[in-house]
Amino acid sequence: MDFRFNETQLLFAETTKEMLLRECTSSNLKEMILKEQGTIPNLWDNLSSLGVLGMTGPQNLGGLGMSDIDHVLIMEELGRFICPEIVLEHTAIGIPLLSKYGNESIQSELLSALLSGEQKVTTGLGNSYVLAADSADYLVMQNADELHLIERKDALLMFQKSIDQTRRLFSVEWEPSSKSLIVKSSKAIEEGLQSASTAAAAQCLGIATHLLTQTIDYVKEREQFGKPVGVNQAVKHQLADTGKAIEFARPMVHRAAWAISNNSNESSAAVAMAKYLSSKAVDLSCRTALQCHGAIAYTVEYDLQLWLKRGWALSASWGDQNSQRNNIAKILNL
């Protein structure tokens, strides 16, 4: 297999990174939390202008026709900047499923609005809670082996507190019907879950990388007894172990994205290993950052807490370490 990235993929990721660097700042995130907005003004529109929101949609409707391997680097950048928008749910799950399994009405009317970002779709596959259900126009929900598309007005939403205040969680009560049914297919649900887990794994890498970089910068500057704390061997070992965990997980995430994009029969195993290793890496990054920063890491005034909370939340989303380890064991017949 060859999952080296081409110039177009690298340039798209770099362009997205530059936009997020300007728009998705820690000060903007804090203001968003303070005002309980749930989103940063104009960020969704900027993502739309870049083509991020429609990158997985069919080209004949204005999408870019990109696969998981094409956008895995973009998902990593979204994690690096803890983007509060539901790009994973909207772009990596909702649009591909609706493009492949949606009826003629969905294909001709709804998809164009989703690709442009004019309307939003979030998803509730395999999860008790749904992200940004209050601001989405549509929800793709799972009922046993069925996928349903419902309008927000047809669902009862109940806000759920989360440790990660950059995202809004809701429990959703709704009634499945023949009108809302998209498809009855366990394969379709598995496809959605695999793409979700891989995108979440990529975002975990972005968070872990940011935490490691920020911690390295901190221990270079923080002095005790007249010297930087980073010169201590115990600190160096923690940082080295964290870096090793991240770099060990990264090719597995790329492999999972490649496997999905190429319809490989190894995709289930690749996705499980990718999410397991990336969750492990981001958990270790969070722990290392806390220990190396010391008491300041526990304060809400310090920006580190934003990445820690997203890291903990995302590590447990779309399959935590225990569930993915069990998936790997089942696949290997252990």
DSSP for 28-84, written as a single string: HHHHHHHHT-SS-TTHHHHHHHHTSTTTTS-GGGT-----HHHHHHHHHHHHHTT--
Please tell me the distance from the alpha carbon of residue 288 to that of residue 281, in angstroms, as a whole number. Answer: 10
Task: Encode pLDDT of 185-201 as tens digits.
Answer: 999 999 999 999 999 99
Report the pLDDT value the prediction gives residue 2, as an integer from 0 to 100: 67
The pLDDT score that the predictor gives to residue 3 is: 65
- The CA-CA-CA angle for residues 167, 284, 129, to 5°, reads 25
State the Cα angle at 178 between 175 and 182, rounded to 5°.
95
- Residue, of 146 and 4, whose pLDDT is higher: 146
Two structure tokens written together for 314: 């995302």
Is the pLDDT at 128 greater than 90? The verdict is no
The pLDDT of residue 1 is 61
By the 8 A CB rule, do 190 and 267 touch? no
* Cβ–Cβ under 8 Å, residues 297 and 290: yes
| Host H or E run for residue 326 | helix 321-331
**Quick one: 137 exposed, middle or buried, by C-beta within 10 A (0-12, 13-18, 19+)?**
middle
Query: 187-331, superfamily in CATH?
Result: Butyryl-CoA Dehydrogenase, subunit A, domain 3 (1.20.140.10)
Query: For residues 49 and 227, what is the distance between their CA atoms, to the nearest angstrom?
Result: 47
Residue 87 contacts residue 132 (beta carbons within 8 Å): no
pLDDT number for residue 4 = 85
67 vs 57: CA distance, rounded Å: 9
CA distance 102 to 108: 10
Spatial strand order in the sheet of 130-131: 130-131, 169-173, 156-160
Instruction: Give the C-alpha separation, 281 to 144, whole Å.
Output: 32
Domain ranges of the chain: 187-331
- Per-residue confidence at 124, pLDDT binned at 50, 70, 90? very high
Which residues make beta-bridge pairs with 173?
156
For residue 207, pLDDT over 90 is answered with: yes
Q: Identify the DSSP state of 264.
A: -
Is the per-residue pLDDT at 203 higher than 70? Answer: yes
Q: Tell me which residue has tokens 């003004």.
A: 41
User: How does pLDDT run across 46-82, given as a tens digit for each residue?
Assistant: 999 999 999 999 999 989 999 999 999 999 999 999 9
d(CA 70, CA 68): 5
Q: Which residues make Cβ contacts (< 8 Å) with residue 63, sequence separation at least 6? A: 54, 55, 56, 57, 95, 99, 111, 115
Backbone angles phi, psi at 157, to 5 degrees: -105, 135
**pTM for this model (two decimals):** 0.95
Residue 134's pLDDT band (boundaries 50, 70, 90)? very high
